[in-house]
Chains A and B, each alone.
Chain A
Amino acid sequence: GENVEQHPSTLSVQEGDSAVIKCTYSDSASNYFPWYKQELGKRPQLIIDIRSNVGEKKDQRIAVTLNKTAKHFSLHITETQPEDSAVYFCAVDSGGGADGLTFGKGTHLIIQP
């Protein structure tokens, strides 16, 4: 099955700086790569997603880049703010026509004031 590695597990940045979280996956048949933000005790919220026919997608301060050849994708958050503090999960579709998502272990992003 699909294997997703996410790094780092914890990331602390100064407010206003940029944060980058990276994920690698194993199944070359995967085509859908969403990112979720989860605050303590709450549900995962979809913040951005990318499909395999696109190399980069941006939404205000958030961007995702995908390298299908290398099987890795990254989340970039610019001009970080205190409300960006949360756990971020990357995910990958199962490929082969199955629709369940395989999630990374998560990155705890801490924004230092």
Chain B
Amino acid sequence: DSGVTQTPKHLITATGQRVTLRCSPRSGDLSVYWYQQSLDQGLQFLIQYYNGEERAKGNILERFSAQQFPDLHSELNLSSLELGDSALYFCASSAQGVLEPQHFGDGTRLSIL
């Protein structure tokens, strides 16, 4: 158990819909990262938040957005879903950020029908 909690574990929805994935970081961790894992693209960094503020952006689509709340949990919002958005979405957390270990949650498997 990494201490990072992600809900839901599985999500099945249709094209054009919107979903929200939730992540609670390890106790004491201030940084939250979102990654997407798919067979063709591998593990890709989407976005990072540190203590409520956006800190770094990776390959995140404009249809996707995220936020980190005062209690440090984070949500990733995916809208206008397409078949290609089907993937495993992981959240990771670290104590501060720079040069520190990132610990992954168990992921949310998103299937678009």
Contact = CB atoms under 8 A, between A and B. Distances in A.
Contacts, number: 65
A97 interface: yes
A34 B43 CA distance: 14
Contacts of A100: 33, 45-48, 56, 58
Nearest to B44: A103
A98 B107 contact: no
Interface string A83-113: 0000001010110011111111110000000
A42 B109 CA distance: 11
Interface string B78-113: 000000000000100010011111111111000000
Given A32-B99, A43-B104, A46-B101, A99 B2 contact: no
Interface residues on A, range: 20 to 34
B28 interface: no
B103 A46 contact: yes
A103 B92 CA distance: 14
Interface residues of B, number: 28
A42 to B, nearest CB: 7
B66 to A, nearest CB: 12
A42 B106 contact: yes
Given A43-B2, A100-B33, A34 B45 contact: no
B97 A99 contact: yes
B43 A99 contact: no
A58 interface: no
Interface string B1-12: 010000000000
B70 interface: no
A89 B101 CA distance: 14
Given A46-B102, A49-B101, A94-B58, 12 more contacts: A32-B99, A43-B106, A44-B104, A45-B2, A45-B104, A89-B43, A91-B43, A98-B48, A99-B50, A99-B98, A101-B45, A106-B43
14 contacts: A34-B102, A42-B106, A43-B107, A44-B90, A46-B102, A49-B101, A97-B98, A99-B98, A100-B48, A102-B45, A103-B42, A103-B43, A103-B44, A105-B42
